[in-house]
Amino acid sequence: MKKDLSNIKKAKYLLDRNHCVAIPTETVYGLAANAYSNQATSKIFKLKKRPKSNPLIVHYSSMQDLKKDCEINDNFQKLYNRFCPGPITFVLKLKRESKISKNVTNGKKTLAVRFPKNSITRTLLSCLKYPLAAPSANIYTQLSPVSKKDVKEEFGNKIKFILDGGNTKIGLESTIINLINKPQVLRLGGIEIKKVSKVLKKKLNYTKKKSINVPGQSKFHYSPGIPIRLNVKKFYQDEAFVLIQKRKKFDKNYFYLSKNKNLKEAGKNLYKTLRKIKKLKFQKIAVEKIPNIGIGQTINDRLKRASKR
């Protein structure tokens, strides 16, 4: 996607005046606001209908800027060198002198930070005098947006501007790692846990038990708003049938996540496919078994939450 500087300038103009702007990232589109401003960040919660207790991830363009707000450590440095910019978020200790708004952390002494890869958003961040708090640009518990059109569908004219960056490359949210004391996986995401473990030279697992309080990891999330059945072999005629691999036979109920069981491609297509099914007015969704390896684990995590009622 070509960089349009006039759009980046427009986004900056609005953000400088405490408005929210939707921004493209490699994971999903974000609803961004000045992370140092109480006024700007409170608008994010209102627009998304997100509970105040659910803290926001803050996006930076440089390590230098991040150091103004957080304490860093060796594990952070290792993971930063290997994966940033990229789809990984770190929870770090907030510095006492940090200007991050209390809305962002819900008053906690920890901060979730990320360096997004999308070059349009990186250029925008480098022009700003503050980092951007940005959760996904969707209404709370709904499907995350992977294109400008999706964001428009979520918010209509309620947001002033959507910075267009084309379709997102990963299509799933970031992996979140708590780096305060012992490293711990808080959310599965765009980077496989196996790769993170390799860099830290320590095997990490994703378990329900967490050493810190992790709000906002609710069981019901990422929902297309209709019932979903998982690990299905045989679908019913009133169900859209989501498949991991293309089949030879045509069926109007079939929706493919990938051509050839490629899990990265499937991740990229997941939210787009669920949104399409919803628009076609199917009342139910059946999903065939998705291999629970690599990014397949993240896909299964999202589908499980989306299937909760």
57 binds ligand AMP (CB under 6 A): yes
CB 26 within 8 A of CB 83: no
Tell whether residue 136 is a contact of Mg ion (CB under 5 A): yes
Applying CB under 6 A, which of residues 136, 147, 297, 298 lies at the interface with ligand AMP? 136
Contact between 214 and ligand AMP by CB under 6 A: the answer reads yes
- State in angstroms the smallest separation of the CB of 217 from ligand AMP: 5
From 104-112, 197-205, 226-234, 276-284, span contacting ligand AMP (CB under 6 A): 104-112
Residue 211 gets the label, from left (phi > 0), alpha (psi -120 to 50) or beta, of: alpha
* Window of 10-18, 52-60, 238-246, 276-284 that interacts with ligand AMP by CB under 6 A: 52-60
CB-closest chain residue to Mg ion: 136
Tell whether residue 55 is a contact of ligand AMP (CB under 6 A).
yes
Give the residue at shortest CB distance from ligand AMP.
216
DSSP label of 252:
T
Q: Name residues whose C-beta falls within 8 Å of residue 129's C-beta, 6 or more positions apart in sequence.
A: none
- The residue whose two tokens read 């759009």 is 7
Residue 189's binding partner out of Mg ion, ligand AMP, none, with CB under 5 to 8 Å set by partner kind: none
Q: Is 108 in the site for ligand AMP (CB under 6 A)?
A: yes
- Can you say whether the dihedral through the CA atoms of 163, 169, 173, 175 is positive or negative? negative
User: Should residue 128 be labelled a site residue for ligand AMP when binding is judged by CB under 6 A?
Assistant: no
Q: For residue 205, with 0-12 CB atoms within 10 Å meaning exposed, 13-18 middle and 19 or more buried, which class applies? A: exposed
Q: Among 51-59, 74-82, 129-137, 243-251, which window interacts with Mg ion (CB under 5 A)?
A: 129-137
> 199 CB contacts (<8 Å, ≥6 apart)?
78, 79, 82, 83
d(CA 295, CA 188): 9
State which of positions 93-112 bind Mg ion (CB under 5 A): none
C-alpha to C-alpha distance for 297 and 42, rounded to whole angstroms: 33
Number of residues that bind ligand AMP (CB under 6 A): 20
Q: Would you state the structure tokens that stand for residue 292, as one six-digit string?
A: 């629970």
The tally of CA atoms less than 13 A away on the side-chain side of residue 107 is 2
Q: Which stretch binds Mg ion (CB under 5 A): 75-83, 128-136, 163-171, 284-292?
A: 128-136
Told to check if 173 binds ligand AMP by CB under 6 A, we report yes
Give the span between the Cα atoms of 263 and 297, in whole angstroms.
9
How many C-beta atoms surround the C-beta of residue 5 within 10 A?
A: 10
Regarding 87 and contact with ligand AMP (CB under 6 A), the answer is no
263 part of the interface to ligand AMP, by CB under 6 A: no
27 binds Mg ion (CB under 5 A): no
Q: Which does 105 bind (CB under 5 to 8 A by kind): ligand AMP, Mg ion, none?
A: ligand AMP
Which of 136, 147 has the CB closer to Mg ion?
A: 136
How many chain residues bind Mg ion (CB under 5 A)?
1
Cα 211 to the chain's mean position, in Å? 22
| Cα–Cα distance measured from residue 240 to residue 250, given in angstroms and rounded to the nearest whole number | 13
Q: Which residues bind ligand AMP (CB under 6 A)?
A: 54-57, 91, 105, 108, 110-112, 135-136, 173, 176, 186, 212, 214-217
